[in-house]
Structure 1
Amino acid sequence: MTPGNNGASTPEDDDPFGYLYADGQARGAQPPSGAGGYGYPNAVSRVRAVGERSYGQQQAPYGQPPQAAYGQGVPQQGAYGQPNAHYQAPETLPGGPPTGRQSMPSAGGGRRGPNTKGLLIGAIAVVAAVVIGIGVAMINGNTDDDKSGDQVGTNPTQSQAHSPSPSASKAADGELPKADATALQLVGGATKASDVKGAQSADGGYVTGLNQAGASMTWSIDNIPEEGPYTLFAHFSVVGEDQEMSVTVNGKLFGTKLPLKNYTHTADGDLSKGWTTTYIWPTLTKGSNTISVSCQSGDKCNALIDQFWIKKGQVKH
């Protein structure tokens, strides 16, 4: 077959560069000239606004609905916001309108969301456990307070402790013994008195008459918790020259005398201003012990003594 002229060019046969070829020139193709276009005679112009090219119908101006082509039944679109004459409501369709909304599939391939109900139950359980714990702690605390109050009430304080008897001195549980000198066993001229003010004994009394050989005070002690070093304190009054007396512990003479020095530097004659404290460090056995303070040959015993007490260990106050 040979090429021929089948009449007016169609868009598919249009070649914009046909004028460059011999067959194109034979068919009348011409180079472009001005606004007349280029290509074959009666060629379809390809210079069009975007969206205006169509086949089989007339093009409407930009922004207007397209008109139906001649002889075709393309419906004309209504103006924006106006009902379409060809619109059919769902109620008029066969079977009536849909009975309900169709749920959209959840994201993530049908996976369920977090179990908020379970989380809420767990939170309530935690709060309940905390409240119960606080209540139990408060109940136990009140019980402990009541017990501690009972213990405090049953143990006598220092001011409630009874004065020791002349034969023995017993301390309350957890305390070491303390005794007024006037309650001890007195021999050899030692006697009670209360004329000089300043004594610490319960009745304000003290022991005098110690400045003579053989005068002594003997203290029998019970309930020493364990064997070991202790401190024996004595409250006394001395004025003028320093004094000292012998000490016997459980029948054995102690290596150090009880120092009764004028620590207050009080002038001779005013014993009410000479009250002070002294101590020695004896070793005691567990349970019962006997301590005697006496005026032996070579001692200086011109002193007043009103009280003795014991502390555990070697201390100074």
Structure 2
Amino acid sequence: MTPGNNGASTPEDDDPFGYLYADGQANGAQPPSGGYGYPNSVNRVRAVGTRQYGQQPQNVQTAPYGQVPQQAAHSHGRPNAHYAAPETLPGGAQTAQQQMPAGGGRGGRGPNHKGLLIGAIAVVAAVVIGIGVAMLGGDKDKDDASDEVGTGPTQSQESKPSPSTSKGGAAQKDLPEVDAKALRLSPGLTTATDFKGAKADGGVYVTGFNQVGAKVTWTVDGIEKAGSYRLYARYSIPGVDANATLLVNGKANTQPMGLKNFIKSPKGDWEKGWQTSWAPVTLTKGTNTIELACNEGNQCDAVLDQLWVQK
């Protein structure tokens, strides 16, 4: 067989530099002129343009856009190397990932604004109700507190304080009282029942007080503790302010006992002129003497109903 067809000079045995050696020259090796240097060597030069790139292999079948060719998908049980997913190609199909609806769940209907509104209204209603209850309770406490405030010397009282209504009580020993007919009267004074409204027994009151030198005296027994007290007086005036000198154990107070027209009763109407006033007094333990006198400078046009002491 000749070297051209027996494979002795196959490409793997070719020596491109064989012409440089004696044995190569003996075998007829020549400098390369397009081959490997041996006679009849395999020329693997391929003309330019004979190989084409980017062509689809013949075993790949085309399919409608977006679908995987059957032969490529199932050839030899593995994916075809020439297949590319549609979403990787320019203009390819969109991915299957879907965005959640903007409104959230429940079919994309958005948040339950109606439920939120009802909840907000319920909260506001609860707050308003709480404020109303607190205000009602505060007003009640305020009214109760005002009832406990002591009466000042310039205030009138329509009703007698609790000591006068609690006769026979244990506290009565510290809060003595006296009716008009039990007072010691100076000459010229007397008791009467000409008009109604006196709270003393039988509606009796002291009259004739409107003259200088007139005086009523009350001997107060049973003061268990020395200290400051209030002397209350219930009286009636004909719609004009009056006053009297107050003496405790023979010592006059710095200010007169005010018998003012606190209720603004009409002039000349004695029955509508009943009211109450008080003045501070300092009492000693045991027995004390309290006097109301009409002295010079006093305006004494008044009748006297009751006197009492309150801590």
Would you tell me which structure has more helix in proportion to its own residues? 2
> Per chain length, whose mean CA-contact separation is higher, i.e. which structure has more relative contact order (CA < 8 Å, sep 6+)?
2
Q: What is the TM-score when the length of structure 2 is the normalising length?
A: 0.45
Q: What is the TM-score when the length of structure 1 is the normalising length?
A: 0.44
